Amino acid sequence: MKQMLSCIEKITGKDLDRDQVRLLNPLVLAFIGDTVYDLFIRTYLIYNHDLPVHQLHVKASGFVRAGSQSRTLHDIESFLTEDELNIVRRGRNAKSGTIPKNADVTEYRWATGLESLLGYLFLLGQEERICQLFDLILKK
């Protein structure tokens, strides 16, 4: 991940320090965090299941639905730092303007909190912390 961020910094000529990342709109953090979560889950499934693509997709969908993400966040919440909980709160309280048809508002907001956290950690290059959280997530 750090190599990817380094590559992006070279290409754009820009880097984001901790304060800049913290000040990003939580929906921007969720925008990238959604992809971090999805990529991790899909990669995990490929490593652990020899299945056709459609079945991998079905399994991945079970993880990345708003309801599943909401439950996941509740499962790991007690392991989060105060800083991480603040990012989650900001993401949870952000008003996105749209709610997916297959999720209730509360689940969707908690899922956005999880995605905001993952986006925040990713943009800070906190690979080890992301791995710790995914380890907790997959053990639940």
Inter-residue contact 120 to 98 (CB < 8 Å): no
Active site residues: 34
Cα torsion 61, 64, 69, 72: sign = positive
Inter-residue contact 93 to 109 (CB < 8 Å): yes
Inter-residue contact 1 to 121 (CB < 8 Å): no
Inter-residue contact 121 to 130 (CB < 8 Å): yes
Please provide the distance, in angstroms rounded to a whole number, between the alpha carbons at the two ends of the chain: 25
The Cα–Cα gap between 55 and 78 comes to: 32
